[in-house]
Amino acid sequence: MSRFMTHPDYSFEAAARALGATRIAGVDEVGRGPLAGPVTAAAVVLDPENIPEGLNDSKKLSAKRRDVLAKDIHRLAEVSIVHVSVAEIDEHNILRASHIAMERAVAGLSMAPDHLLIDGNMIPKGLTIQSQAVVKGDAKSLSIAAASIVAKTSRDALMMDLAQQFPGYGWETNAGYPSPKHKAALIELGVTPHHRRSFKPVHNILYQGKN
């Protein structure tokens, strides 16, 4: 099989176990790119004897399949999900806010893991547990894939709720990302309390009257 068609497996977790780790958490975040809404992170500790079937990078799954798998993950694994607010995104920056979300997601687990598998190429500075950054980890590690799924489904559900409170921006379908409908609504309807004021399209409308 081509390396571009691989699916996540348990090899990163198995390698950590071979070195003595017994409680391994996959960590991922979603929501760096949207103009509105929080950034969300999840930490998931899978039971190696009872891993949900069909785990994959959340971006490669349909919404329906993600919802089914999210329920399986919540039922069969330990899950911690954290939303970091727009205010904190604007106070720090989106990279640091996403790392804060990851740190809090790990802290929210009932027991501290002894090894972390983190999606991306950076380890958040607030994590003192033995950690391994895995580039495109949601497509390589089952634990990270599981975290990507529950993070996305949780954030999507939150944005669906916000879409009912602030109709017209299309958050129920674009999840706050800068789709044409969302950007047009920003000009027509204005900026909501859930928009990230530090992001250029929102900042420009607020302070320069530009798109």
Residue 116, domain CATH? 3.30.420.10
Q: Is the predicted pLDDT of residue 87 greater than 90, yes or no?
A: yes
- pLDDT score at 3: 46
User: What is the 8-class DSSP label of residue 61?
Assistant: S
Confidence at 150, pLDDT banded by 50, 70, 90 = very high
How many domains is the chain partitioned into structurally? 1
Closest-CA residue to 76 (of 101, 99, 44) = 44
- pLDDT score at 5: 56
Q: Is residue 164 part of a domain?
A: no
Q: Is residue 194 part of a domain?
A: no
Q: Look-up: residue for tokens 């691989």?
A: 6
- Over residues 148-159, the mean pLDDT reads 98
- Over residues 164-171, the mean pLDDT reads 98
Q: Is 119 annotated as a binding residue?
A: yes
- pLDDT score at 4: 52
- pLDDT score at 1: 35
Q: Is residue 170 part of a domain?
A: no
User: Token pair for residue 149?
Assistant: 């799924």
- pLDDT score at 206: 86
Q: Is 9 annotated as a binding residue?
A: no
Q: Is the predicted pLDDT of residue 211 greater than 60, yes or no?
A: no
Contacts of 60-64 with CB under 8 Å at 24 or more apart are 60/139, 61/149, 63/156
Q: Is residue 162 part of a domain?
A: no
Q: Is residue 67 part of a domain?
A: yes
- CB–CB of 156/63 below 8 Å? yes
- pLDDT score at 207: 82
Separation of alpha carbons 187 and 22, rounded Å: 52
Q: Is residue 53 part of a domain?
A: yes
- How many other C-beta atoms lie within 10 A of the C-beta of residue 190? 10
User: Token pair for residue 86?
Assistant: 């727009």
Domain that holds residue 43: 3-157
Q: Is residue 20 part of a domain?
A: yes
Q: Which comes out higher in pLDDT, residue 2 or 168?
A: 168
Confidence at 93, pLDDT banded by 50, 70, 90 = very high
